[in-house]
Amino acid sequence: MKSNPLTFEFIGNACGIFTGNKGTRIFCDPWLVDGVFEGNWCHYPPLESKIDDFLDVEAIYISHLHPDHMKDYIKNTLAAIIYPYEKENEPDPKMLISNLQKVSDGILSRMQRFGITSDYKVITGVYGDQYQIYPSFKKYIRKDMHKTLLCSLDPRLLNRIVNKTSNWNNAEVGAHINYVRIPNIFQPDLHTGLQFFHI
Count of beta carbons in the 10 Å neighbourhood of residue 70: 15
Do the Cβ atoms of 163 and 91 come closer than 8 Å?
Answer: no
pLDDT of residue 137: 95
Sorted by where each starts, the structural domains of the chain and their CATH numbers stand as 7-81 (no CATH), 93-196 (3.30.1050.10)
- Using one digit for the tens of pLDDT, what is the confidence trace for 6-57? 899 998 888 899 999 889 999 998 888 777 766 667 888 888 888 888 888 9
- Over residues 103-118, mean pLDDT: 94
pLDDT of residue 83: 86
pLDDT of residue 153: 94
- Using one digit for the tens of pLDDT, what is the confidence trace for 163-195? 999 999 888 877 788 888 899 888 888 988 999
Confidence band (pLDDT; 50, 70, 90) for 141? confident
Closest by CA position to 166, among listed 198, 118, 130, 188: 198
- Using one digit for the tens of pLDDT, what is the confidence trace for 44-90? 888 888 888 888 898 888 887 666 666 665 567 666 788 899 999 99
Compute the distance between CA of residue 115 and CA of residue 104 in angstroms, rounded to an integer. 16
